[in-house]
Each structure stands twice: as C-alpha cells, then as structure tokens.
Amino acid sequence: MLGTLAPLIVILGTATPGGGFPVYGAAVAETINEIDPSLAVQPRNTKGSTENVPLLEAGQLDIALVQGEVVHEALTGVGRPPADLKILFAMYSTPGMFVVRADSPYRATADLRGKPVAFGARGSGLVILARYVLDGLGLDQERDFQAVYLDRAGDGPAMVLDGRVAALWGGGLGWPGFTAVAKGPAGARFIAPDTNERARILAKHPFLKPMTVPPGSYPGQDAPIASVGSWSFILARPTLAEDVAYRLARALHRGEAVLARRLPQGGETTAGNTVAAAPRPELIHPGVLRYLREIGVVR
C-alpha cells in the first residue's frame, strides 16, 4: 500500500507577537490547511513588514504579510531598487489612527505634539503609515513627538493604560492593540485626521486611500471613524512556483467564509478585493491570476 505524500510546507512570515499580523497569519494558515490538506502553511514570527520584504527576496520565507506602505515602497522602488515580489492576496484595509484613554485631554493630532507616542514595533509597516500620514500634515515623528518604538507590538496598550505614553498609533478593524486599550477601565478615544487633514494627506500621498472604521469595530465605538490608509497584502518570494500560488489561492478563496468566521478582518480577504486593491494587475502572481480567471473574477 502506497503511503500518502507529505503536505507541501509553505513558510508564512508574520510579525512580532501582540499585533494584528500574527493573529491574521494564524487564521489564514488554519483556513488554507483545512481546505487543502496537501498544503501545510506554517506561520513564523518576524520583526514585521520591513523585515519580511528582504526575507522574501532572499527566499527565506515563501510568503509573508506586508503592510501597504511597505508594499508601495518595495514594488515602486522608494529608496531601493524595485522588489521582484508578487501579490498573492489583499489582506485587509488599514485605516490609521491614534488611540488615547477616554479620560485624557487629547482630541486631535495637534494635541499630541511634544507628547510621548508609541508608533508601533520598529519593523512594523504601521510606523511607515504614520510617517506618511504625519508628513501629509507637515509633521515629523521624530521632531514633533517623543516617538517610542516597541520591541513587541503587544507592549503598546499597557503603556497607554499606565500613562507612559499619551497615545498609541495603529490601524485596521479589530486591531488587537486598540481593542486592549478600549477594554481598559477608562475606555478609549480614537484620533483620526479630520476632513481638511485627510484632503491634505491624500493630496501629498495619493497612493493612500480614504477609509472608514465602521461602528462597533472596537468596544465602545458607536460612530464611524473616517481616516486614510492602505491595503496590506500577502506577497510571495520571486521563485514561488505558479502551481503552488494557484493551490494557495484556490484553498484560501474556497475558504473565504471560513476565514471570515475565524477573524472579522478576514472578511475583507476576497478574490474581488485582491483585484481591486492591487496597484496594477501584473503585480498579482500568475498562479493566482490563473485561479481568478477560472472563477471569473478577472478576464
């Protein structure tokens, strides 16, 4: 009797513990492995988006989660040669904003000037999103704030709750850091760019997009929050075989409902959103495009 073939191991780079990427990466891995047992996606903690790009280029990761601004800089060649990486999936939208304790006096970005602010883990793409958002307002992380960078994304909420920092920067829907602050005894207030500020940011950095955080995305948040941000993506190393990318796409998109049940943000990981969010169609992996054509999402 012939033995069954061992599943194909696919290494998925995420980020530091306590942030949204490891939670999302685990949900994606579980979903793909459940739908297609011939694949074994294995998440790996990394320093985050800015480390994931060179690890992909070196072939030390097969696929990895990369925040939108890091994708933009890598694929367009900002401060470096353009990266030969392909998009597998759009993950979720990441509207950026600050969270403060609800009993704090801070109500606008300008109120945080000169204050200690945790911008996230050093390797996180959220730090770069903050840089672009603040630059659009004529502000600088280092010059205008007492910038704090974390070794672990999960360290930020406690610093807000005990007053070591005035605010924590983050993004997305159901982001763990924001949820932790909102569940604190004082509750949370969110600070996002106002209408005029959003217009200034988008005029200077048009690759960013207007985004809204729906009501109920966080405990006690009863109104929508308008902001700006970008889509994060799962990228593939340059040598990932077309057949492997096809199998990953088939498994994940057949499991879209399963992923959405596992994690609310996973509801945004759809075939349609991958096509809509990709900066250019040719940046999508050929294996993924083959599957998207089969299901009629692209021609």
* Every domain of the chain and the residues it spans: 8-93+231-294, 94-230
* Mean pLDDT score across all residues of the chain: 95
Q: Is the pLDDT of residue 174 over 90?
A: no
pLDDT band of 2, cuts 50, 70, 90: low
Matching fold, domains 8-93+231-294 and 94-230: yes
Asked if 74 and 66 count as a contact pair (C-beta separation under 8 A), the reply is yes
Report the chain's C-alpha Rg in angstroms: 19
Tell me how crowded residue 23 is: count the other CB atoms within 10 A of its CB: 21
Q: Is the pLDDT of residue 1 over 50?
A: no
Cα-based angle 134, 48, 290 (whole degrees, multiple of 5): 100
Per-residue pLDDT at 122: 83
C-alpha to C-alpha distance for 8 and 132, rounded to whole angstroms: 39
Per-residue pLDDT at 3: 54
Average pLDDT estimate for 153-179: 95
Per-residue pLDDT at 70: 93
C-alpha to C-alpha distance for 44 and 157, rounded to whole angstroms: 23
Mind listing the pLDDT tens digit for each residue in 67-78? 999 999 999 999
**Percentage of the chain exceeding pLDDT 70:** 99
For residue 158, give both structure tokens.
């406690």
Per-residue pLDDT at 203: 98
Asked if 95 and 192 count as a contact pair (C-beta separation under 8 A), the reply is yes
Asked if 53 and 74 count as a contact pair (C-beta separation under 8 A), the reply is yes
Strands 63-66 and 8-13: parallel
Q: Tell me which residue of 299, 250, 179 sits closest to 32, measured CA to CA.
A: 250
Mind listing the pLDDT tens digit for each residue in 31-42? 999 999 999 999
Q: Is the pLDDT of residue 153 over 90?
A: no
CA 192, chain centre distance (Å): 17
Average pLDDT estimate for 44-63: 97
Q: Which CATH superfamily is domain 8-93+231-294 in?
A: Periplasmic binding protein-like II (3.40.190.10)
Mind listing the pLDDT tens digit for each residue in 195-248? 999 999 999 999 999 999 999 999 999 999 999 999 999 999 999 999 999 999
Average pLDDT estimate for 53-59: 97
Distances (CA, A) of 256 to 32, 35, 75, 263, 269: 10, 10, 27, 11, 7
Mind listing the pLDDT tens digit for each residue in 10-49? 999 999 998 899 999 999 999 999 999 999 999 999 999 9
Average pLDDT estimate for 95-114: 98
Which one is predicted more confidently, 39 or 173? 39
Greatest CA separation found in the chain?
Answer: 71
**Percentage of the chain exceeding pLDDT 90:** 92
56-78 burial, b at 16+ Cβ within 10 Å, e below that, comes to: bbeebbbbbbbbbbbbbbbbeee
Provide the β-strand partners of residue 10.
Answer: 41
Asked if 237 and 104 count as a contact pair (C-beta separation under 8 A), the reply is no
This prediction has a pTM of 0.87
Query: How long, in residues, is the chain?
Result: 299
C-alpha to C-alpha distance for 202 and 133, rounded to whole angstroms: 9
When the candidates are 3.40.190.80, 3.40.190.10, 3.50.50.60, 1.10.357.10, the CATH number that belongs to 94-230 is: 3.40.190.10
